[in-house]
Amino acid sequence: MRHPLRTFWLLVTLCIFVTACGSTTAANPAPAAAPVTLNVFAAASLTEAFTEIGMKFQSAHPDLTVKFNFAGSPTLVQQITGGAAADIFASADLANMKKVSDAGLVGDSQVFVKNKLVVIIPATNPGNISTLKDLAKKGVKIDIEAPAVPAGKYSLQALDNMAKSPDYGSGYEAAVKANFVSQVDNVKAVVQKVQVGEADAGFVYRTDVTASVSDKVKVIDIPDTFNVIAEYPIAVIKNSAHATDAQAFVQYVLSADGQAILTKFNFISVA
């Protein structure tokens, strides 16, 4: 014998239970994943290229925010060894990467791109400079990076290479150095001083002649015979709280898309 009334109340009870469970779920949804911010400490010369790389990486990883700290490589080393919150370090030379590696602060590093030096002069050319030899003229004002900064170190190496050539001679190096009016802590500072005419010439990377300054400065190439090819290494910080995401960023930099962006900004690809 069937009991329709009992069946009815069983269905009512089941509906109330299901509704209550649904209400509980709606009122207490699963917690959303915490937003992730990747702190990328990168050499100042990477500013434009890495900014675009960061935008592209974020578009593919909407749960991530890439935050950049651009400065001279020695400054970044000081910050990282001093305990600054960083997930990735991209240096403009191997020596500064070695410092943080020797301190046990990064994992394996790898060279992800290369660069080379040029000399820039203001578009108005107040120093009347047309060749590298003109840098030795008395009274020319030259800006350069400090020797501890990779670009400054490379510039001094290039001058030393030129001094060994009969085309320039040892006196050339001494004369150019006598014209140094400042030695700053990053390449962007040199670009700024030259483009506003505070200096007659400056040693910077080819990549620093960006679209925003290309009409304000002229470029004098340094022949490869004397130039120094800069190698840029990148590594994940060992104590990064987001090591997996940081490694994904490094892989994107090394990918075909990342390398294409770097070469667009006149870097030399390692692919």
Whole-number pLDDT of residue 196: 93
Q: What is the pLDDT of residues 160-181, one digit of tens each?
A: 999 999 999 989 999 999 999 9
Q: What is the pLDDT of residues 230-253, one digit of tens each?
A: 999 999 999 999 999 999 999 999
Q: Which CATH class is domain 36-114+232-269?
A: alpha beta
Task: Output the CA–CA distances (angstroms, integers) from residue 71 to 40, 104, 126, 150, 181, in the order listed.
Answer: 11, 21, 29, 12, 21
Which sequence spans correspond to the domains of the chain?
Answer: 36-114+232-269, 115-229
Whole-number pLDDT of residue 10: 53
Whole-number pLDDT of residue 24: 45
Output b/e per residue, 13-32; b: 16+ Cβ within 10 A: eeeeeeeeeeeeeeeeeeee
Residue tagged 């109340």 (tokens):
9
Q: What is the pLDDT of residues 41-85, one digit of tens each?
A: 999 999 999 999 999 999 999 999 999 999 999 999 999 999 999
Whole-number pLDDT of residue 7: 57
Cross-strand bridge partners of residue 65: 37
* Average pLDDT, integer, range 149-163: 96
CATH topology of domain 115-229: D-Maltodextrin-Binding Protein; domain 2 (3.40.190)
Q: Name the pairing type of β-strands 110-122 and 180-184.
A: unpaired
Single pTM value for the model? 0.83
Tell me if 36-114+232-269 shares its fold with 115-229.
Answer: yes
Whole-number pLDDT of residue 170: 86
Q: Average pLDDT, whole number, for the chain?
A: 91
